[in-house]
């Protein structure tokens, strides 16, 4: 017999996913708080008690999505409606379902890092996809943040019953010469070479605001970020600073990185970018201009921002 807590987790999952009950009603029915209901539903996904499959095709019916595809030369765009209660989790679940629709058996998937990627991985239900490998795209950060590159890689691998391969090097070295020497070491060199064999990549874009994760994790200082912004930086992809045209910035910081080369990212057939914050619009534009995005998942708020960039005759929704 299952212990009582385990029974309640399964009961909460049944009432929510099978019976369609609201979280408040489940809270009343089971005599637990609404916060506990949310925790139990997450636990049910984590242990594989439920397998959630959102019909992602409904997010491709938006006319604006098709216009964004045409204007920016993307293969597919999914627009996830903004909402109030639980909107961020709704977006993460939908983005995870898009990923599951795109990933194929025996795929080699390059995975970036950051809060957006961590949230997506955290929302991923247990699904076995045969023969998949998840490969870390960036070196690691020496902090306890949950969105560290190594954690994101191994957690996604766990949820897909896949092989996870970490990049055993720091994200940023103290000098370009040191970074260049480390990239020549066989262990790191071979790991970076294997990223070139990926057939899929999943990443977000980082902004150049003070809340940027490269600042919060200590990869660069606020002063350095301001300096790079003044020199034309609009955002980051896999920690690499890019300008508005999508070109990698010629700067000391980029030369000190241990991360996937952006030209190698551009060569991957399926490049899924996930963006859920409007302040990342400039970074997203740079990423699309540089040809790093083939598939895009975004909120309706971000899509509305992109709509303002469309020619006048295509702005009507």
Confidence of residue 88 (pLDDT cuts 50, 70, 90): low
Q: Burial of 293 by CB count in 10 Å (0-12 exposed, 13-18 middle, 19+ buried)?
A: buried
Residue 133 and residue 26 share a domain:
no
d(Cα 190, Cα 202) in Å, to the nearest integer?
Answer: 21
Tell which wins on pLDDT, 43 or 199. Answer: 199
**Does a structural domain hold residue 51?**
no
Residue 71 and residue 38 share a domain:
no
Confidence of residue 209 (pLDDT cuts 50, 70, 90): confident
Residue 125 and residue 267 share a domain:
yes
In terms of DSSP bridges, do strands 108-111 and 76-80 run parallel, antiparallel, or are they unpaired?
unpaired
Domain interval for residue 30? 4-46
Q: What's the CATH code of the domain at 33? A: 1.10.10.10
Q: 245 by DSSP, 3-state: which?
A: coil
Identify any residues that bridge with 201 across adjacent strands, giving them in sequence order. Answer: 110, 271
**Does a structural domain hold residue 124?**
yes
Q: What is the pLDDT of residue 315?
A: 47
SS3 content of the chain, % helix, strand, coil (to 5): 50, 15, 35
Comparing CA positions, the residue from 103, 115, 129 lying closest to residue 51 is: 129
Q: What is the pLDDT of residue 1?
A: 38
Residue 232 and residue 266 share a domain:
yes
The tally of domains found in the chain comes to: 2
Asked whether residue 226 carries a pLDDT value surpassing 70, the answer given is yes
| Distance from the Cα of residue 261 to its chain's centroid | 18
Residue 138 and residue 284 share a domain:
yes
Confidence of residue 263 (pLDDT cuts 50, 70, 90): very high
Residue 191 and residue 64 share a domain:
yes
Q: What is the pLDDT of residue 314?
A: 47
d(Cα 258, Cα 276) in Å, to the nearest integer?
Answer: 26
Kindly report the pTM of this predicted structure: 0.83
């Amino acid at each position: 017999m299952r212990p009582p807590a385990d029974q309640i987790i399964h009961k909460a999952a049944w009432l929510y996913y099978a019976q369609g009950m609201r979280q408040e009603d489940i809270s009343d029915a089971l005599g637990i708080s609404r916060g506990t209901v949310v925790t139990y539903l997450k636990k049910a996904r984590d242990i594989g008690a439920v397998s959630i499959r959102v019909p992602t095709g409904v997010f491709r019916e938006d006319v604006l999505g098709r216009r964004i595809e045409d204007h920016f030369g993307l293969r597919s765009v999914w627009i996830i409606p903004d909402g109030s209660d639980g909107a961020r989790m709704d977006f993460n679940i939908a983005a995870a379902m898009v990923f599951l629709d795109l990933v194929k058996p025996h795929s080699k998937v390059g995975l970036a890092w950051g809060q957006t990627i961590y949230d997506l991985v955290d929302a991923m239900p247990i699904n076995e996809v045969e023969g998949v490998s998840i490969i870390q795209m960036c070196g690691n950060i020496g902090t306890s943040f949950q969105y560290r590159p190594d954690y994101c890689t191994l957690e996604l691998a766990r949820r897909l019953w896949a092989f996870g391969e970490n990049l055993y090097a720091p994200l940023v070295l103290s000098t370009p010469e040191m970074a260049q020497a480390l990239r020549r070491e066989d262990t790191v060199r071979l790991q970076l070479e294997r990223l070139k064999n990926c057939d899929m990549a999943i990443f977000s874009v980082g902004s150049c605001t003070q809340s940027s994760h490269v600042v919060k994790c200590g990869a660069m200082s606020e002063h350095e970020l301001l300096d790079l912004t003044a020199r034309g930086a609009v955002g980051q992809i896999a920690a690499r600073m890019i300008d508005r045209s999508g070109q990698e910035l010629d700067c000391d910081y980029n030369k000190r990185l241990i991360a996937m080369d952006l030209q190698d990212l551009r060569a991957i057939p399926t490049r899924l970018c996930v963006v859920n914050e409007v302040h990342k619009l400039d970074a997203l534009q740079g990423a699309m201009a540089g040809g790093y995005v083939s598939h895009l998942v975004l909120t309706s708020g971000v899509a509305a921002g992109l709509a303002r960039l469309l020619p006048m005759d295509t702005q009507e929704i």
